Amino acid sequence: MYAIVEDNNITKFINNPKSIVIGDVRYPAKIFQLWSTSELNAIGIYEVITDSSNFKDQEYYINTNEQYNFADNQVTRSWGTATPKRLEDENAVDENGDPVLDQDGVQLINYGLKTEKKKIIKAQASGLLEKTDWHNHKAFDDETYTIPNNIKTYRANVRSKSNEMETQIDACTTVEQLETLYTYTTDDDGVQSRPLAEFPKEVV
């Protein structure tokens, strides 16, 4: 992306190289490939430099609107300080602070990140268990059928890991801690891992 700067003010953005009129002169699109940075700057065209140091993962934070600034002969795109999303659940209220109720008169709840993450964990565990549910159904219908031990162990481990992950999530007191739980790192052997527990390998 490029910006047109006139009298130290950004007046226009160019997303893709194209023919452009500056002053009384029309310049062809090829100047963006053929001209040097100093030559482009001389007619008021500056490449936009992105400073994403304040931009955070939108799953966990609310970022400010992007802002553009021209200073020190450079156009910079940046963001202000991001705001962490709600971590804990809270009762829903309107602009006057009054409870927001459902049709049955029960106050609604604005769910926080911890609850949303635990919902996902529960759904994942349910999906994994569903694939081996047929063993339980068969054992219920056929008393001669014995569920294999590896299936029993796997299902127990899925439930155990699900509970362990929810406990880890509940222990977080900041959004940063929650984000870190889900952040993978790579060790010297190229193995990726994260602080949050992982479900066991599927069996059939």
Q: Does residue 164 sit within a domain?
A: yes
On whether residue 203 sits in a domain, the answer given is: no
125 plus 185 within the same structural domain: yes
15 domain-assigned:
yes
Domain that holds residue 173: 112-193
pLDDT of residue 157: 97
Residue 202 counted as domain residue: no
Nearby residues of 128 by Cβ (< 8 Å), 6 or more positions away:
158, 199, 202
pLDDT at res. 11? 95
My answer on whether 124 and 186 are in the same domain is: yes
Tell me how many domains the chain contains: 2
Average pLDDT for residues 58-76, to the nearest whole number? 97
Residue at 89: amino acid letter: D
Give the number of other Cβ atoms within 10 Å of residue 2's Cβ: 19
Q: Are 199 and 162 in contact (CB under 8 A)?
A: yes
Res 152 pLDDT > 80 = yes
Confidence of residue 203 (pLDDT cuts 50, 70, 90): confident
- Asked if residues 76 and 47 have their Cβ atoms less than 8 Å apart, the reply is no
**DSSP code of residue 86:** P
Does 204 reside within a domain?
A: no
pLDDT tens digits along 91-119: 999 999 999 999 999 999 999 999 999 99
Residue 189 sits in the same domain as residue 116: yes
Q: Structure pTM? A: 0.82
Alpha-carbon torsion (29, 33, 36, 41), positive or negative? positive
pLDDT band, very low/low/confident/very high, at 62 (cuts 50, 70, 90): very high
Residue 90 domain-assigned (yes or no):
no
Q: How much of the chain exceeds pLDDT 70, in percent?
A: 100
* Residues 62, 85: Cα–Cα separation, whole Å: 6
Quickly count: other Cβ atoms within 10 Å of residue 84's Cβ: 15
Instruction: Answer yes or no: do 130 and 70 share one domain.
Output: no
Q: What is the mean pLDDT of the chain?
A: 96
Say if residues 15 and 48 touch (Cβ distance below 8 Å). Answer: no
The distance from CA 173 to its chain's CA centroid, rounded to whole angstroms, is: 19
- 126-140 pLDDT, tens digit each: 999 999 999 999 999
In tens, the pLDDT along 16-34 reads 999 999 989 999 999 999 9
Q: Is residue 106 part of a domain?
A: no
Q: How many other β-carbons are positioned within 10 Å of the β-carbon of residue 5?
A: 19
Share of the chain above pLDDT 90, in %: 99
